[in-house]
Amino acid sequence: MGSEQQQSMAAPTTPRGQHLLDELLAEADIRINGDRPWDMRLHRRGALDEIVARQSLGLGETYTRGDWDVPALDQFFHRLLRTDLTSHIRSWRNGLRILRSYLVNRQSRGRAFEVGERHYDLGNDFYKAMLDSRLTYSCGYWKDAGNLEDAQAAKLDLICRKLGLQPGMRLLDIGCGWGSLVSFAAEHYGVECVGVTVSKEQSAYIEANFGHLPITVYLQDYRNLDQRFDRIASVGMFEHVGHRNHRTFMQVAKRCLRPDGLLLLHTIGKNQRHSATDPWIEKYIFPNGELPSAGQIGDAADSLLVCEDLHNFGSDYDKTLMAWHHNFEKHWERFAGQYGQRFYRMWRYYLLSCAGAFRARHIQLWQWLLSDRRPGGVVRVS
């Protein structure tokens, strides 16, 4: 933990009277100025009004400014999201944001590279410090794993086994990140791989580190794909597609998939079809991001592809995020001068709030296995 953060956490709390938020947070067993790890330590009383008025956006922005602290943010959000507090303070803004998502294509071709520039291009050294050795920036598979490195290797192998990869096959990875899946598949399963990314940093990293493997990487929008492949995977990218483009994604996958081929779609998902993207996450972490619901994915694949298997291991994302946060804190001093204290609080909030959300089962992690009416189906792999 950074020294400024330690000083902020130790700062005296603000004296005040009773507030609406006291009553609301009490339903989640959270006290303002309490002494438990998940209790809020308030440093500016006006932050409470801002949180009530602006909800998630106000909560995140007041934390980033240092208006309040919680020693264990993951526990705070676990309790907060297990209790439906938003039903007590619903805002017309959420209705407008949901309406906007249906009227505006926020994931258009013109905006496709924005998330790469603002999030994934922060710097490879930063992600090397936070992630595993393969820079796998998606949920690990902790079934038989005791650490992040093993969990990520298990997840990559699980994907390869579900796809039934064999030497000589061609694998397409839509949203290939820093090449964790394509490098693993090429090394361990002898397949030829093509990766697509909208991040210049990721593309350059793959070209610099995996030139000895049969891997080609394209810096382009997935909608421009027109090659054919035996297998297709998309791991942690579908969250950037947007519901207006879900059908297009499935059409591209079907166009690129050879007969008897398989598509594995690994994505975070939401529990409700008609719900807005968290405004703080969208504004500060993943611009134009939008989690799909199971129904929306089913609609997108309808009459195009058949769901052969659906696997939910969302609780594993809690462990993954906590491991990333541990690494982030451990190595923060290396990056403090470059990124600053505001970035530190923003990323601490991002990692721990998401860990709490998965722990509360507020959001899920799915692996969909789809085919073009594969004869005989598939044998389930776990």
354 catalytic? Reply is: yes
Distance CA 305, CA 249 (A): 11
Q: Which residues pair with 312 in a beta bridge?
A: 366
Q: Supply the pLDDT for residue 17.
A: 65
Between helices 46-65 and 315-359, what is the axis angle to 10°?
Answer: 150
Neighbours of 262 (CB within 10 A): 24
Distance CA 56, CA 197 (A): 30
Whether the CB-CB separation of 291 and 270 falls below 8 Å is answered with yes
User: Given the structure tokens 């439906």, which residue do they identify?
Assistant: 84
Name the strands in the sheet holding 306-312, side by side, starting at the edge strand that comes first in the sequence. 215-219, 192-197, 170-174, 229-235, 257-270, 363-371, 306-312
pTM attached to this predicted model: 0.88
The token duo for 26 is 């009490």
Whether the CB-CB separation of 178 and 134 falls below 8 Å is answered with yes
Q: Supply the pLDDT for residue 18.
A: 81
Nearest to residue 198, comparing CAs of 235, 160, 237, 163? 237
Selected catalytic residue, list 139, 176, 256, 354? 354
User: C-alpha distances in angstroms, 223 versus 178, 300, 302?
Assistant: 20, 15, 19
Distance CA 323, CA 132 (A): 10
Distance CA 108, CA 344 (A): 30
Distance CA 217, CA 204 (A): 9
pLDDT tens-place values along the chain, 382 residues long = 444 444 444 444 555 668 888 988 999 999 999 999 999 999 999 999 989 888 889 999 999 999 999 999 999 999 999 987 655 554 444 444 334 434 444 444 444 444 444 455 578 899 999 999 999 999 999 999 999 999 999 999 999 999 999 999 999 999 999 999 999 999 999 999 999 998 888 999 999 999 999 999 999 999 999 999 999 999 999 999 999 999 999 999 999 999 999 999 999 999 999 887 888 998 888 888 899 999 999 999 999 999 999 999 999 999 999 999 999 999 999 999 999 999 999 999 999 999 999 999 999 999 999 999 888 889 999 8
Whether the CB-CB separation of 66 and 8 falls below 8 Å is answered with yes
Q: Supply the pLDDT for residue 362.
A: 94
Q: Supply the pLDDT for residue 71.
A: 97
